[in-house]
Structure 1
Amino acid sequence: MTSVARHPMTPTVPPEVISDIYSPDEIAVLFDVVRRKGPWRLIAAQHFATAEEYLAVSGPKNPDLKSKLTLSDLLTPTFRSYLGNFGIAYEDEVHDLYFSRKMLNMIKSIHGAKYATPQSFLFNLRAPAHSYDAGHFDGSSWRGINSNNSPLWLISIMAKSGLFDEWEVKSGQVIAYYYNSDIDGGFTYWPEGPDLPPKRVPAPFWNNGFLTNNEKMFHRGEASGPRGRRTIPDLQLNSLISGEGDNEWVIRNDGTEIARYEDDEMRFLFHYSAHVFDDLADVKRYVEHTDDLTVEKALGMILDDLKRRGKPVPESSDPMNDSGFIAALSSRYAMAPSEYPVEAPLDVPTPR
């Protein structure tokens, strides 16, 4: 009997569509924090320094090598901040939500795990936007290396390489979407791996989403909002968004307004993630750092793997900031979806 190899970017179990994730009172608390406590920064400004770093995480399967993009060409008005992280609730109002037994039990159920600890609790808010994200997976975690202490481009390449399962920290996510419009804005995901057809949940959303293992599944938020308002010519890395009044959102550059939107044009998500452990020995390895990876060891393993495969990459004197080195590693471990829903095609960026 012939067995079919499981793609490394396939979730432990298929994602489960869930509804009524938060109570009305909890929704009010969450949106109150987002509206009152800004301004908030672009996701790209928090995680990427160059186009090569972005493309290592969210680049297409067959990029146009003749089109030299900069990070500015890839910007969309998608902003992010954190309600909690590292096992600490950042806002008093969300303390009980961050340590929610309901959320932790849901995520433990994905892996049949015995123990869990909350990790990142973040929110994204997006004005009308294109989606240049060709599909990505959330930042994986290994003992010693995670998205809190290492760049996302390295996290992505490590996950694609399949070299680090021995150090993997299991995780899961509960993601709630809020987009009160049916103008595009759905969610595309590849539960059987990026080489097979995707599935899609269309908008509108309100307090529904997924129980999922997004660190092992390619997915993307689709373009959203009025199609004629998806480009902001003055958007730049230091652009900030903040709530204005009861139902508006304003994007500014150094205090100067460049765009304004109403609630129904905006797309929001709240993304809760936890780490889970099979037993106390697993917990102790994680907490006591007795078997951690280092960035140096990870890069060494990657370079050794490429040599064995006959695809060597020269070492760099500044590997964490060398865009040519990052692009070379990314191309060696290139992996991205090959098919998109007809209703949600991939937007193609062009140089400004």
Structure 2
Amino acid sequence: MHGPTLHPHPKGTLVSTTMRHPMVPAVPPRFVEDIYTPEEIDILFGIVRRGGPWRLIAAQHFSSAEEYMAVSGPKNRDLDRKLELSDLLTPTFRGYFGNYGIPLEGAAHELCYNRKLLDMIKDMHGAKYAAPNSYLFNVRAPAHSYDAGHFDSPSWRGMNKFNTPIWLSSVMAKSGLFEQWELRSGQVIALFYDSDVDGGFTYWPEGPDRPPARFAAPFRNSGLVTHNEKMFHRGEASGPRHKRSIPGLQLDSTIAGAGDDQWVIRNADEEIARYHDSEMRFLFHYGAYVFEDLADAKRYFEHTDDLTLDTALRMLSDDLRRRGVQFDESSHPMHDSEFVKILTRTYDMAPGSYPADAPLDLIGAV
């Protein structure tokens, strides 16, 4: 059995996460194997290889280093050094099989409503109903991992990843102010990385101030059933170590399949890197919302108790004042980098320890 590797926690050194904010999953992740049939794997990889080009994850979700840091936490770096978003880029690209609860690729239609995956997520929560949410994939070339640990973008009734920036969703979750609107969720994550050179999955099942655990590579159509919107986790560095830095990687770089077993990263028409399948790490990420009963589902779908952006920003501002945090009122708080910095610092929460076999890469040290 491919089980997690646990790491001892020094007694008396940390305060329980749940005393300040419950960023703890409903249950710890469960390792699963043979997630997809061979026919399903052919469908999924066919879409990934023949589609594209695919954009960087960072390009799809962030416009500044401050927004990235609000999601991924501190980087054990020189705090006097101002980071740019380009400093944080790794060659990790993303596309979607489905989104908004609907298939975006015709060939993946049945998979978007996969009963096996939905039942796994329902069973994790003991819920009666489940509704597909997003179905995405990551294509990752050899890469360092500057991610100090993050959690997936959470959702609330009325506010979710489709209408709320990820940085704001992360701040809201860490604030602990919005639990009454929380949408419970779950994910089935399938990994394909046929190597034991790094490439594992680190997670903090008892909160970021408790010791981590990890699932080590290789992964062959295996992965986990997990509650990643309430659990800090990170994909570890992967691929041949001497190929993990890509000179010229920029925010608008893309990747696409080439032939039967090659992947090419380009800046516009210029090829800047090329890799073989064996050097790549692939992730298929299926997500669904769960509902305790029909009344719970109706409250979501009929929008009878939605959280709004104005309410969320007012509650955050009120909480800053209660904490004695000084800030200037902004007419455009969503685009005020100083306000983003203040929120990020006020609700700062990130892992403080890492497995010895999967250390955090330091920016500027590799």
TM-score tier by shorter-chain length is over 0.9
Identity of aligned residues (%): 66
Counterpart CA distance in 1 for 2:78 and 2:216 is 29
The structure 1 residue matched to 2:351, chosen from 318, 337, 352, is 337
Alignment of 1:1-352 (within 5 A): 6=18, 7-60=21-74, 64-350=78-364
CA shift for structure 1 position 63: 5.0
For residues 87 and 242 of structure 1, do their structure 2 counterparts lie closer, same or farther at Cα, with a shift above 3 Å needed? same
CA shift for structure 1 position 67: 1.3
Q: Tell me, yes or no, if the aligned pair for 1:244 and 1:250 is still in contact at 8 Å.
A: yes
Counterpart CA distance in 2 for 1:77 and 1:125 is 8
Partner AA of 2:120 in structure 1: M
Tell me which moved more, 317-326 or 216-225. Answer: 317-326
Say which SS state the counterpart of residue 44 (structure 1) adopts: helix
CA shift for structure 1 position 351: 10
CA shift for structure 1 position 59: 2.2
Partner AA of 1:154 in structure 2: L
CA shift for structure 1 position 296: 1.4
For residues 148 and 117 of structure 1, do their structure 2 counterparts lie closer, same or farther at Cα, with a shift above 3 Å needed? same
- 1:284-323 deviation line (CA, Å, top 9, x unaligned): 1111111111111101101111211223433222211111
Counterpart CA distance in 2 for 1:66 and 1:91 is 46
What count of residue pairs does the alignment treat as equivalent? Answer: 349
Counterpart CA distance in 2 for 1:201 and 1:351 is 26
Q: Tell me, yes or no, if the aligned pair for 1:194 and 1:336 is still in contact at 8 Å.
A: yes
Q: CA RMSD in A?
A: 1.4
Residue ranges of structure 2 left out of the alignment (5+ in a row) = 1-15
Runs of 4+ in 1 over 4 A off after TM superposition: none
Partner AA of 1:149 in structure 2: N
Q: Tell me, yes or no, if the aligned pair for 1:139 and 1:156 is still in contact at 8 Å.
A: yes
CA shift for structure 1 position 148: 1.0
TM-score (norm 2): 0.93
Q: Tell me, yes or no, if the aligned pair for 2:55 and 2:94 is still in contact at 8 Å.
A: yes
CA shift for structure 1 position 331: 0.3
Counterpart CA distance in 2 for 1:21 and 1:312 is 50
Q: Tell me, yes or no, if the aligned pair for 2:17 and 2:208 is still in contact at 8 Å.
A: no
Counterpart CA distance in 2 for 1:61 and 1:133 is 8
Counterpart CA distance in 2 for 1:342 and 1:274 is 33
